[in-house]
Amino acid sequence: MQHTTKTAAILLLADGTIFHGKSIGISGKTFGEVCFNTGMTGYQEIFTDPSYFGQIMVATNPHIGNYGVNVNEVESDKIMISGLVCKNFSFNHSRPDSESNLYDYFSTQNLICISDVDTRALVSYIRDNGAQNAVICTDGTSVEELKKQLSNVPDMKGLELASKVSTAAPYFFGNENATYKISALDLGIKRNILRNLAKRDCYVKVFPYNTPFDELKSFNPDGYFLSNGPGDPEPLEQVIGTAQKMIASDKPIFGICLGHQIIGLANGVSTYKMFNGHRGINHPVMNVLTGKGEITSQNHGFAVNREELEKHSDLEITHYHINDNTVAGMRMKSKNCFSVQYHPEASPGPHDSEYLFDDFIANIKKAKNLQSV
């Protein structure tokens, strides 16, 4: 077994707090909003989830890297997090399906990581003080210089990031002879969303985030999909306008995460930045329509304003987060449009909410049957 000598590294928060640790051997510094994920498995899916773009991830699971990496366990083509903070980083891995170790995976993409951090203390601090910008430094840069550079990093509130992760050109996913056609607006779409649509007999055309509605419409879809993604939804004014045209078209619409927030904004309901957000794979949600609870995968730092939503004449809450009563799902009363704040495609996480994809297909079937009458 190769012996690795770890050099000192630090995590500096915007408020001046410093957490000490060790470098895993990749020298440099990286900036982003520090947040934590409570998932015990699925680290590769988390690292490649475009919704995490611009964020430094703190893993609450004490062991990271122990089961290696696999090319089939990615949600995009590259690592999306800005950096990783963990307790124990494993340079060795043990699993029949693993193709490589996590260190080589990080090294290839130059991801800065700090290990040997007291992550329990760090997570408690974030819980008490909220998500904030931070820097991981593994190259010995002075604290004063880091503070100066960190002060220039933009706050996540007001930050548009969908353009950084969206596809540059349209592409197709699924069987072109499938029964249903979906126009999907890519705000940072996860691959498992596309898999879930494809296995339900959908042929999906994925469009860049800033695609005009007429181009989405030209695919002659049976329904529209608004994807997950990173950053603040409010600056996405063009996307909000596109969503309004989708709604006016009377075609079935499904939104997830950032897409859910866009649908809220398209209906005049505001969004807000949460204190530290929801990120994990065991978040409890109540389905108001069925009275049943669901364990869900979540990853968001913004939410739809519940008070405004409850006063809206054409919107109703379908799901809420049991821990803090925030909006977890909604639907329009006059249109075939619904959305959720969490991730029914999971990856990683439980499959309690996969039925939402079935609901979307059922809405499409119903709309097609009405058209044929």
| pLDDT tens track for 267-288 | 999 999 999 999 999 999 999 9
Measure CA of the first residue to CA of the last residue in the chain; give whole Å: 70
Domain co-membership, 126 together with 198: no
Hunting for tokens 């969206």 — which residue is that?
A: 166
Structural contact between residues 163 and 209, judged by C-beta atoms closer than 8 angstroms: yes
Identify whether the C-beta of residue 66 lies closer than 8 Å to the C-beta of residue 90.
Answer: yes
In a domain, 156, yes or no: no
187 and 123 in one domain?
A: no
Which residues are CB-neighbours of 236 under 8 A, at least 6 positions away?
A: 160, 162, 187, 209, 262
71's CB contacts (< 8 A; 6+ apart) are 99
Residue 219 sits in the same domain as residue 107: no
Both 333 and 241 in a single domain? yes
Q: Strands 253-256 and 337-340: what pairing?
A: parallel
Q: Which of 80, 235, 50 is nearest to 156 (CA)?
A: 235
pTM of the model: 0.96
- In this structure, what CATH number is given to the domain that contains residue 60? 3.50.30.20
pLDDT for 6 equals: 85
Q: Clarify whether residues 72 and 211 are in a common domain.
A: no
Distances (CA, A) of 279 to 46, 107, 150, 348: 10, 25, 24, 11
φ/ψ of 275, rounded to 5, equals -65, -50
Residue ranges making up the domain that contains 311: 162-372
- Which CATH number does the domain housing residue 198 bear? 3.40.50.880
pLDDT tens across 184-209, in order?
A: 999 999 999 999 999 999 999 999 99
Structural domain ending residue among the three candidates 93, 118, 150: 150
Same domain, 140 and 172: no
Please say if the pLDDT value at position 1 is more than 60. Answer: no
pLDDT at 157 over 80: yes
Alpha-carbon gap, residue 327 to 345, rounded angstroms: 18
Q: What is the pLDDT of residue 2?
A: 53
280 lies in the same domain as 146: no
Residues 196, 80 share a domain: no
Per-residue pLDDT at 4: 62
- 343 lies in some domain: yes
Specify the pLDDT at position 370: 73
Structure tokens at 64: 């990271």
Domain end among 92, 125, 150: 150
Q: Could you give the 3-state DSSP secondary structure of residue 354?
A: coil
State yes or no: pLDDT of 5 exceeds 90: no
Query: Which of helix, strand or coil describes residue 216?
Result: helix
CA atoms of 214 and 212, how far apart (whole Å): 6
Catalytic residue numbers, as ranges: 257, 343, 345
In this structure, are 99 and 190 located in the same domain?
no
Same domain, 132 and 170: no
Residue range 287-304, pLDDT digits in tens: 999 999 999 999 999 999
| pLDDT of 373 | 52
Look at residue 59 in the predicted model and tell me its pLDDT: 97
* Domain boundary pick from 150, 176, 211: 150
Residues 85 and 167 in one domain: no
The sign of the CA dihedral 52, 53, 59, 61 is: positive
Say if residue 101 is in the same domain as residue 227: no
> 216-268, pLDDT tens digit by residue?
999 999 999 999 999 999 999 999 999 999 999 999 999 999 999 999 999 99
Count of domains for the chain: 2
Q: Look at residue 155 and tell me if it is in a domain.
A: no
Is 3 within a domain?
A: no
User: What pLDDT is recorded for position 369?
Assistant: 80
In a domain, 209, yes or no: yes
Cα 44 to Cα 308: distance, rounded to the nearest angstrom: 37
Backbone angles phi and psi of 108, in degrees to 5: -60, -35
Give the pLDDT confidence of 119-146 residue by residue, as tens digits: 999 999 999 999 999 999 999 999 999 9
Closest CA to 329 of 313, 311, 309: 309
55 to each of 30, 154, 330, how far by Cα in Å? 10, 12, 27
**H helix intervals, the chain:** 43-47, 102-109, 119-129, 143-150, 162-165, 191-198, 213-217, 237-248, 258-266, 306-311, 355-372
- In terms of Cβ atoms closer than 10 Å to its own Cβ (0-12, 13-18, 19+), residue 179 is middle
